[in-house]
Amino acid sequence: MSFSTINLTGKKTNIYSPIHLSGNNLTNFNQNIPLEVKKLKTMIMSHIFLPLISKQWAILRQNVFFLNIMKNKIKYYQSFVKDDLQLYADLLNMFEIILNEHTQFEEMERKVYSGINGKNDVSSLIYKTTIIRLKPEYEIYNIIFGKPQREKKQVYHEEVIKDIQKILEFENITFDKIQELILDKYGKDI
């Protein structure tokens, strides 16, 4: 049931609701958004914001490698689609800041309550630095196998890093699937 009305912009339109300010027809709202953009928005919501709202910090740390992928897709789609993608880009930047601050807070809390070297040493000096992020493939490697220890002369296995890079190019890949594929191929002991 459509009816004609004059809205606040002074334009005569055929709409379902007489209350709107843009003068655009509301019936085709959200129909011109490409499927890829809808998938990207869904990915951002399911991998970043829903875990953030429910304070699932471990999942957020696992999904941090999605940030650059999502930001690059947003930049790419912004040139084709007139949509609210800039809002999503800003939200991803905000998320990155929140995650960094939370990680720094947890690290500081650990140092304060357990001491720097596991001792309750009151004379310890605590200073705040910015978190250094590795490339996603190295972050994922660290989560799966642990960070190689220099004092034990451990190094990153380049074949594992290359495989993780290839897997990251898959559409809609998740950390759990990456971990499963890598552990199936290399096992837990590298």
User: pLDDT class for 120, splitting at 50, 70, 90?
Assistant: low
Q: Is 64 left (phi over 0), alpha (psi -120 to 50) or beta?
A: alpha
CA dihedral 172, 178, 184, 185 (to 10 degrees): 100
Whether the pLDDT of residue 61 is over 50: the answer is yes
CA–CA dist 9, 79 (Å, integer): 28
Summarize pLDDT for 74-109 with one digit per residue, the tens. Answer: 888 887 777 788 888 888 888 888 888 888 888 887
Mean pLDDT of the region 59-75 = 83
CA–CA dist 134, 148 (Å, integer): 13
Token pair of 121, please? Answer: 């040493």
Beta carbons within 8 Å of 69's beta carbon, 6+ residues apart = 136, 168
Whether the pLDDT of residue 5 is over 70: the answer is no
Whether the pLDDT of residue 48 is over 90: the answer is no
Q: Which residue has the higher pLDDT, 157 or 115?
A: 157
At 87 the pLDDT is: 85
Domain positions in the chain are 1-31, 34-132, 136-186
